[in-house]
Amino acid sequence: MPSSATPYGAMPQAGLSVNGSFTGKVRHIKIASAYGTAIFYGDFVKLVAAGTVEKDEGTTSMTPVGLFVGCKYTDPNTNQLTFNQQWVASTAASDAAAYVIDDPNVLFQMQCDGTAAQTVLGSNCAVVQTAGSTSIGTSKNAVDISTTATTNTLPLRIIDFVDGPNSAVGDSYTDVICKFNAGHLYDNTTGL
């Protein structure tokens, strides 16, 4: 049972309709050269009007296109093609592209920022946005468990609990399985 908060962002697990690998479910979307915000493995990302991807920093509402699972770019210092699980803020690379799991029905595991009781199953919730780990390149976002409600505009829905040696319902920092609830770009009939 985790006794301290160790959030790790949104870790993709499967699709709601089909289990299995994410082969063919990862889209390459450009990152603007010198984009000034770091993006970490497990962060939510959004598509912007320029046709590029940026970190979605929303908490109670978001417009995600998916989950960031890495990127590629030509390193401006070495001139070598580089693959990284984090986008280093302000990297000048005209060929930068994010790897994004953009399936609106993707399921992902996240840690709650507190105790999740059985009664939150099926609830909607907000996100706690925290700067990621630059040493290992992963997100530190978490589920804001204090916001669980029926509010249809909250961005995430809790659909299951992770029951195992490191987490169980009622633990101090419960791990849960979530899906996008509201705001995914592909479900928005207005478009970008």
Give the integer Cα–Cα distance in Å for 85 and 35. 16
Whether the CB-CB separation of 8 and 43 falls below 8 Å is answered with no
Q: What is the DSSP annotation of 2-28? A: --S------EEEEESS--S--TT-EEE
In this structure, is the dihedral angle defined by the CA atoms of residues 47, 49, 54 and 55, taken in order, positive or negative? negative
pLDDT at 34 over 80: yes
CA 38 to chain centre: 13
Is the pLDDT at 16 greater than 80, yes or no? Answer: no
Q: Are 93 and 33 in contact (CB under 8 A)?
A: yes
Beta strand pairing call for 142-149 and 97-101: unpaired
pLDDT one-digit tens code per residue, 40-86: 999 999 999 999 999 999 999 999 999 999 999 999 999 999 999 99
* Model pTM above 0.85: yes
Q: How many helices (H) and strands (E) does the chain have?
A: 0, 14
Q: Where are the domains of the chain?
A: 18-101, 105-187
Distance of CA 16 to CAs 98, 102, 177, Å? 23, 13, 11
Distance between CA atoms of residues 145 and 151, nearest Å: 14
- Of 10, 7, 12, the closest CA to residue 42 belongs to 10
Q: What is the pLDDT of residue 19?
A: 62
pLDDT tens figures, 123-139: 999 999 999 999 999 99
